[in-house]
């Protein structure tokens, strides 16, 4: 592999607050190190449709505070095929792109891993997902902001729940990971969290009801992770209506509200550090790695580990929630 002279950057999959801070960091760190930068719009689709623009320092001015992604993002079925990846590679060659930085979740990194293997391209991943579900990094870009959005929403729901003596089920994102639900419950003082990691072990609703949650409180909030494994907030609300009709139940689904908003200081700093580290990795001739952070130190995590390994939930956090919700 020759010396890298030009780096392409794209955001893929679901957007996350802090992606723009990462785009800014990658762009400016690359220019600082004498590299050319090409911004690729709409993720992998932009490689196939040739939506590629040269980025200078001014292209990323005044974006660190913005949610979403200025590069846009899109799902791309064509990139999952060898034919689509061939078109993408040819576009890279035309634009002189020698290496790729991909900001996204596990699906985005899976695509990068396959692409890198097929065409021997240095690919560096940055963990950009509110779900915090990528193995090998303590936290992901966007997670802290989404958690604070949940916190703000649940604080407001608490006001009406208390006024009406109601049981509220609040559904949050996370796909098959319960990090947002569990930590959101601890931070907001919720009475319980229903998460996919424990859905096969116990009946989490039954456990919550039997804990006697109404002994000392006249209102309760349960945060539910959206997942096929949990069934979501509506599933549990219906169960309560049928099995415990004495309770006045309401449901709030926060949905895409959690994806938006200006990134927190934590996410801006994290994205800036990871973005700069991505260029360091390229200069060190690294490839097929995700840049993560563990114990406040930058780490290089092979794509195979980041994608294949499940990130475990700490049971200690479940115990903390249970103890503090009495």
Q: How far apart are CA 195 and CA 184, in angstroms?
A: 11
Q: How many CB atoms lie within 10 A of CB 303?
A: 24
11 bridge partner residues: 103
Start-end of H helices in the chain: 19-32, 43-49, 82-94, 106-119, 143-164, 179-188, 204-210, 232-243, 265-283, 303-308, 315-324
- Which residue among the candidates 131, 133, 144, 267 is catalytic per the annotation? 131
Q: What is the largest CA-CA distance in the chain?
A: 70
Start-end of H helices in 255-301: 265-283
Contact of 194 with 181, CB cutoff 8 Å: yes
Contact of 72 with 41, CB cutoff 8 Å: yes
Is 131 designated active site? yes
- 296: which 2 tokens? 């406040």
Active-site residues, by number, are 131
């Amino acid at each position: 592999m020759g010396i890298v002279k030009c780096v392409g950057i794209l955001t893929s999959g679901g957007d996350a607050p802090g992606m723009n801070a990462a785009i800014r960091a990658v762009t400016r760190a690359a220019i600082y190190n004498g590299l050319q930068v090409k911004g690729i719009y709409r993720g992998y689709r932009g490689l196939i449709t040739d939506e590629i623009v040269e980025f200078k320092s001014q292209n990323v001015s005044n974006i660190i505070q913005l949610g979403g992604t200025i590069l846009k993002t899109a799902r791309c079925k064509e990139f999952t095929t060898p034919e689509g990846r061939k078109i993408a590679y040819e576009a890279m060659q035309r634009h002189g792109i020698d290496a790729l930085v991909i900001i996204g979740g596990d699906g985005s990194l899976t695509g990068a891993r396959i692409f890198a293997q097929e065409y021997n391209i240095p690919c560096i991943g940055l963990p950009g997902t509110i779900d915090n579900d990528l193995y090998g990094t303590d936290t992901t870009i966007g997670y802290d902001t989404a958690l604070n959005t949940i916190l703000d929403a649940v604080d407001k729901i608490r006001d009406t729940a208390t006024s009406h003596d109601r049981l509220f089920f609040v559904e949050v994102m996370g796909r098959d990971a319960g990090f947002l639900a569990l930590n959101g419950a601890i931070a907001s003082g919720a009475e319980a969290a229903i998460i996919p990691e424990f859905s096969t072990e116990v009946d989490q609703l039954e456990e919550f009801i039997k804990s006697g949650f109404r002994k000392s409180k006249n209102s309760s909030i349960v945060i539910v992770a959206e997942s096929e494994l949990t069934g979501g907030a509506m599933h549990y609300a219906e169960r309560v209506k049928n099995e415990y009709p004495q309770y006045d139940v309401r449901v709030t689904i926060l949905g895409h509200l959690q994806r938006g908003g200006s990134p927190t200081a934590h996410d801006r700093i994290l994205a800036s550090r990871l973005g700069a580290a991505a260029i360091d990795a390229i200069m060190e001739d690294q490839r097929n790695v995700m840049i993560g952070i563990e114990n406040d130190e930058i780490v290089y995590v092979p794509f195979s580990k980041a994608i294949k390994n499940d990130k475990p939930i700490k049971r200690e956090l479940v115990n903390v929630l249970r103890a503090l919700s009495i």
